[in-house]
Structure 1
Amino acid sequence: MRRFAVPAALLIFLAACGAEPGPENAAAPPATAAGSAAPSGGAVNTSPDQQRIRAQKVDAIAAQVPPAIAADGKLLVGHSGEGAPPLGFLADDDLTYIGVETDLAQLVADVLGLEYASEISSWENLFVGAKSGKLEAVFNNVTVTEERKDIYDFATYRVDQLAWQVAANSPIAAIAKPADIAGLKVSVGSGTNQEKILLDWDEQNKDAGLKPAEISYYNLYGDALLALKSGRIQAYFGPNPSIAYNVAVGADTKIVGTASGAGPDLQGLIAAMTLKDNGLVKPLNEALNTVIKDGSYQKVLDRWGLGNEAIPESRINPPGLPLQEG
C-alpha cells in the first residue's frame, strides 16, 4: 500500500452535492484511541493489526472476473486519503490504512479469489483512476448518481444515511419529521445535502405556523460536538458514518433519527464503483451478495458501528441521485 500524507487534527470532507468530484461526507470526527468503548460493549480496534473478517473464494463467481483484471491475481481497489473514521483512516501507527471500506473490499476480493491490493489517492483521482481502468474498483463511500452511471458501473453495499445526534442526556427521543425540530437549536454543515433537507423542514414548519429552528453552522465537526455537549445547540444533523463512529467510541451522545442522504423521495445508496462495461460489476455484485448472505458483511458493519446502514442485497446500477440543475 502506498504511503500518503493526511492532516493531523481533524480530517474534513467537502460538501456533498451528488455530482462528482466532491467527497460524499461533509465532515469527519477526530480520530480516537484504540480500546474506546463500542456499542456492543467490545472495543473499536484502531491498531495496525486489524484481524479482518475474511470470506471464502467462490469458484463460480471468481470465474466471472474478466481475464485482464484477474491476470495478476490482485484486485486493485482505490480509497481516498481524505477519508475519516470509520470509513477509511490511518491506524495508530500512522501508516496502515483501515476502516469499513477496506474491510468490505477485502471480503469481496476473498470471494473473487484475488489478493486485495489498495491504492490511496485524492478523492478526484479515484474517479480518474477508475475511468482510466488503472483502479479496478473503488470502495470509498461513493453515492450512486445518474451522472456517474454514464461512466461507471455500481454494485451497492450500504445505504447513504444521515443522522441526528444529540447529547446522551438529552430529553429528545426521536427526530423523524419536520415538526420534531420546531424551535430547536440545531447545527448542520453549510452547502451540504443535509442542509438542504434541514432548510426544507424548517420552511415546512414555518408554513404550518410552527416555531422556526435556530440554525448554527460550524466549519469543523469537532466544534459542532463541543457546542452540542455544552448545550449551545440541541441537535446536529450530519453524515451517519461519522456520527455513528463518534457515538461508538464515546458515551456522551446518541443518535435519535436517520434520513436518506438523497432526500425524502429516494434512498441514496453507496456502491463499489468500476469502469462502465468492463465486465467486473456482475462479479462484484455477486460477491457482495455472497457475504451479505453468509453474515460476514453484517459483522464488518457492526464492527465499525454502521449496522444501521446494512442493505438486504446488493444491486447493480439502481436509480441514483438525479442530475443537478444548473
Structure 2
Amino acid sequence: MPPRRSPRAVTAALLGLVSVLSLTACGNPAGGTGSEPGGGAASAAGAGGGKSLQINLGPDQKRVSTPEVASIAALVPAEIRARGTLEVTNSAGSVPPLTFYATDDKTVIGVEPDIASLVADVLGLKLRYHPVDWANIFVGLDSGKYDLGLSNITVTEERKEKYDFATYRLDNIAFEAKKGSGWKVRGPRDVAGRTIGVGSGTNQEKLLVDWDRANVAKGLKPTDIKIYQNAGDYYLALGSGRLDAYFGPNPVAAYHAASTGQTEIIGTFSGAGDALQGEIAATTKKDNGLIRPVQEALNTVIENGAYGKVLARWGLAEEAVPSSELNPPGLPRTAS
C-alpha cells in the first residue's frame, strides 16, 4: 500500500461518486450496513441497478460493534491487558475503502479500522489507532511500539519469518488502466514492454518483478516498473499516459474506477500468484502471544455476523473468508 494521500483529496473523490460501483453488486448478506450517514456521505448505485451503497464519510462512523468475550480476552498477554488498550497501526490516508481520513481530515475510517474495532471489542480493549507510512508499520511492530498491524497486509513467506498472521480477507489485486485503453492483463506476457506503476515494498511489486524476470528470461521485452509513494502521483501519471497501468489492491482500484469514470480494471489476480489465493491478515510481532486471541476474536465476529456487516458496509462482501487462519501459506519468496 502506498503511504498517505491528502485527506481532502480522498474525501473529494468519494463525494464525487456518481457512477456504478461494481463492488456493491453482491449486496448485504448480513442484513444491514451498520452505518448511518452523518457529517458527509456518498452513495453509488449497485451494478445492474442493484442496491445503493451508502458511504459514511464523517468522523462519527457509528461502527458495527460486538460484545466482549471474557474467555478470549483472558488470552491477551498480561502487559496488554494491564494497559487496557490495543495499539493498532496502519498506513492511513491511502485510498478508500481500506483506510482513509473522514471529512474532518483527522479521523481514520475504512474497512480496516472497522475490523480493528471489532477485534478490540471482543478482547475488551480500547482501540487506539496509529497512522504511519507503510514501512513504519513494520518498524513499529518490530520495536513493540504497536501491538497489531491492520493495513491490507498480505501474508508472505518472507514476512512469516518475523511476524504472525491471522487472516480476515481475501487478497485480490488488479491492474487499473485509463478507460478505453484497449488491452487486458491475463498473465505475465501481457506486461512485457509496458510501463507499470506499483507501490514500493508491496506484494504487487514482488509479483511484478517476478513476472518481469520470467519474461526477460524468455526473451520478451522488459517491463518498465515505476515505483510510487502516494496515490496522487500514480493517478496523475496514469491519467497523463505516462503509465500504461497501475498494479494495486483490487478494492482500491475498483473504488477509484467507479468514482472517477476515467479508469477501468483490466485484470485481477490473487495477491499470492497463480498457485495460491492470497490472504490479508492481522499482523503481530512473531511469538509475542497476541495472534491467537486476535484469531479467536476474528472467528467470533465471523460467526456472529458482525464481520459480514462490516464488509458489506464497504462493498467488500466478495472478499470475505469463512474463518480466520493462523500463518497460512503465503506469497512465495521473490526469485533471486
- Equivalent residue number for residue 17 of structure 1: none
Task: Report the TM-score when normalising by structure 1.
Answer: 0.74
Aligned CA distance change for structure 1 residues 121 and 169 (closer, same or farther; 3 Å): closer
Detail structure 1 runs of 4+ shifted over 4 Å in the superposition: 28-31, 164-172, 178-183, 196-207, 214-219, 232-237, 250-257
Q: Deviations over 1:177-202 (max 9, x none)?
A: 4499699x976315824644775898
Q: Secondary structure at the match of 2:310?
A: helix
Secondary structure of the structure 2 residue equivalent to 1:283: helix
Q: 1:36 aligns with which of 33, 37, 42?
A: 42
- The percent identity for this pair of structures is 44
Distance of 2:86 and 2:102 partners within structure 1: 22
**8 Å CA contact 2:175, 2:246 repeated in 1:** yes
Distance of 2:128 and 2:108 partners within structure 1: 12
Instruction: Give the match's secondary structure for 1:289.
Output: helix
One-letter amino acid matched to 2:60: D
Deviation at 1:30, TM superposition (A): 7.7
- Which residue matches 1:23? none
- Matches of 2:240 and 2:302, distance apart in 1: 38
- Pick one of 142, 155, 167 that aligns with 2:153: 142
* Contact in 2 for aligned 1:187/1:224 (Cα 8 Å): no
Q: What does 1:176-215 align with in structure 2 at a 5 Å threshold?
A: 177-178=186-187, 188-189=196-197, 192-193=205-206, 195-196=208-209
Distance 1:73 1:100 in 2: 23
Q: Cα offset for 1:168? A: 7.7
Matched-pair contact (CA < 8 Å) for 1:153–1:273:
yes
CA deviations 1:74-103 (Å, max 9, x no partner) are 111112246332221211111111111111
The answer on whether the counterparts of 1:262 and 1:321 sit within 8 Å (CA) in structure 2 is: yes
- C-alpha deviation, 1:306, in angstroms: 2.5
Matched with 2:252 is: 242
Q: 1:316 to 1:179 in 2, by over 3 A?
A: closer
Partner of 2:73: 62
TM-fit CA distance, 1:123: 2.3
User: Could you give the per-residue CA deviations for residues 211-243 of structure 1, whole angstroms, max 9, x where no partner exists?
Assistant: x9x999796342365369xxx999765321211
The unaligned stretches of length 5 or more in structure 1 are 12-27
1:287 equivalent in structure 2: 297
Q: Which amino acid aligns with 2:58?
A: S
Quote the Cα distance in structure 2 between the aligned partners of 1:127 and 1:179: 29
1:121 and 2:140 are equivalent in the alignment: no
Judge conservation of contact 1:29–1:222 (CA < 8 Å) in 2.
Answer: no
| Structure in which a larger fraction of residues adopt helix | 2
Match of 1:278 in 2: 288
Call closer, same or farther: CA 1:265–1:121 in 2, change over 3 Å.
same
RMSD: 3.8
Q: Could you tell me whether the CA contact under 8 Å between 1:166 and 1:235 is conserved in 2?
A: yes
Quote the Cα distance in structure 2 between the aligned partners of 1:218 and 1:132: 27
- Which deviations, in whole Å up to 9, do the C-alpha atoms of 1:38-91 show, x marking residues without a partner? 344132211111111111212221121122111122111112246332221211
Q: CA deviation at 1:294?
A: 2.1
Gaps of 5+ in 2: 16-39
Task: State the Cα distance separating 1:303 from its structure 2 match.
Answer: 2.0
> For residue 222 of structure 1, what is the aligned residue in structure 2?
235
Q: For 1:294 and 1:240, locate their aligned partners in 2 and report how far apart those are by CA, in whole Å.
A: 27
Structure 2 Cα separation of the partners of residues 262 and 145 of structure 1: 8
Once the two structures are superposed, what CA deviation does each residue of 1:269-303 show, in whole Å capped at 9, x if it has no partner? 21111121121111101111111222221222222
The yes-or-no answer on 1:315 pairing with 2:297 is no
In structure 2, what is the Cα distance between the partners aligned to 1:61 and 1:293?
14
Match of 1:92 among 89, 103, 121: 103
Contact 2:295 2:326 in 1 (8 A): yes
The size of the alignment, in residue pairs, is 296
Residue in 2 that maps onto 1:102: 113
**Bigger Cα displacement from structure 2, 281-290 vs 292-301:** 292-301
In the other structure, the counterpart of 2:23 is none
Asked if structure 1 preserves the Cα contact closer than 8 Å seen for 2:308 and 2:317, the reply is yes
Contact 2:185 2:191 in 1 (8 A): no
- d(CA) in 1 for partners of 2:12, 2:213: 29
- Kept in 2: contact 1:240–1:258 (CA 8 A): yes
Confirm or deny that 1:158 pairs with 2:169. Answer: yes
Task: Give the counterpart letter for 1:308 in structure 2.
Answer: E
